[in-house]
């Protein structure tokens, strides 16, 4: 009997400790985020090296609002976004900037007219096949920008049968590779970034988790998880905190990926710096040079908030 009671006590003690690890990682990440907000209310992807702008501000407003925070940091961020919107309804004629600004504003429940104008801009730059490129209608459509646009459409209340949503989802489905994953341009090799965001968008639009587009995408993404629990852009490459955050955002809520998500969260706790931030080489602006930065820290906080 004593042995049974002792074991029960140990189990009860271990459960909160495991939960506290992820919670502590998230709290420290959010502390770093709030500490690097600029006076004008905006955020930079890396303070002192890149200018404060709409895209990281949209991430920050989204993440802080997910935590049910409507304090000064969010209000200042919202004010910056509303002021920074261009006459055409976009943020910088950029699909990602616009979509993330919409995601931030809708999460904060602010800027209804700005959101409507942003959605109209996205409708206008969608290509004939349903995809989205990075800058307006220029260049080849990419899975990640199309997926983020779908996320923004859904956050703004568009139904799955809305023509813009349906066409984007159809294009994403057409991008699946034979290995189950998704590249960035259609037909390119599968990468974790394209796969995770495509899975996320498909599920958000109502595609069943057992559909081949999701199920096989998940199987491919799981091959990119390292023994440490972190995910890499492609199998065999070094794991990275930002790529790991994207993987969590794509896999969350899927029973088949529950263990993988828990291991990924544990990896993030070990990869965090004392100041709460994370180092990554993933942002394209860093030219593959690992840097401690706000962008990665925000996506880690986003991912951990969604599995809290």
Phi-psi region of 180 (alpha: psi -120 to 50; beta: other; left: phi over 0): left
> pLDDT at residue 119 above 80?
yes
Give me the mean pLDDT over the 98-119 stretch.
97
Domain definitions of the chain by residue range: 37-306
Please report the pLDDT score of residue 139 as a whole number: 87
> pLDDT at residue 22 above 80?
no
Task: Classify domain 37-306 by CATH number.
Answer: 1.50.10.20
Which of these, 13, 33, 6, lies nearest to 275 by C-alpha position? Answer: 33
Give me the mean pLDDT over the 201-230 stretch.
97
> pLDDT at residue 20 above 60?
no
- Tokens linked to 112: 């209804």
Output phi, psi for 303, to 5 deg.
Answer: -65, -45
Residue 21 banded pLDDT, cuts 50, 70, 90: low
């Amino acid at each position: 009997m004593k042995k049974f009671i002792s074991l029960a006590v140990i189990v009860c003690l271990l459960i909160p400790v495991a939960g506290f690890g992820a919670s502590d990682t998230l709290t420290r990440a959010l502390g770093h985020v709030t500490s690097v907000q600029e006076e004008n209310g905006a955020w930079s992807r890396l303070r002192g090296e890149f200018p404060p702008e709409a895209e990281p501000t949209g991430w920050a407003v989204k993440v802080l609002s997910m935590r049910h925070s409507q304090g000064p940091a969010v209000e200042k961020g919202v004010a910056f976004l509303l002021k920074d919107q261009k006459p055409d309804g976009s943020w910088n004629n950029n699909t990602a900037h616009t979509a993330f600004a919409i995601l931030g504003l809708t999460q904060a429940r602010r800027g209804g007219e700005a959101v409507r104008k942003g959605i109209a801009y996205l409708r206008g730059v969608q290509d004939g096949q349903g995809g989205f490129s990075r800058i307006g209608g220029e260049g080849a459509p990419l899975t990640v920008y199309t997926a983020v646009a779908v996320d923004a459409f859904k956050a703004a209340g568009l139904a799955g049968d809305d023509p813009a949503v349906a066409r984007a989802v159809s294009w994403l489905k057409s991008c699946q590779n034979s290995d189950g994953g998704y590249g960035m341009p259609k037909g390119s090799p599968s990468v974790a970034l394209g796969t995770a965001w495509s899975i996320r968008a498909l599920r958000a639009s109502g595609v069943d988790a057992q559909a081949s587009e999701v199920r096989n995408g998940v199987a491919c993404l799981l091959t990119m998880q390292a023994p440490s629990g972190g995910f890499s852009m492609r199998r065999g490459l070094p794991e990275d905190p930002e790529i790991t955050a994207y993987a969590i955002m794509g896999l969350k809520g899927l029973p088949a990926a529950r263990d993988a998500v828990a291991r990924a969260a544990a990896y993030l706790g070990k990869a965090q710096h004392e100041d709460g931030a994370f180092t990554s080489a993933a942002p394209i602006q860093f030219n593959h040079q690992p840097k401690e930065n706000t962008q990665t820290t925000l996506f880690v906080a986003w991912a951990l908030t969604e599995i809290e």
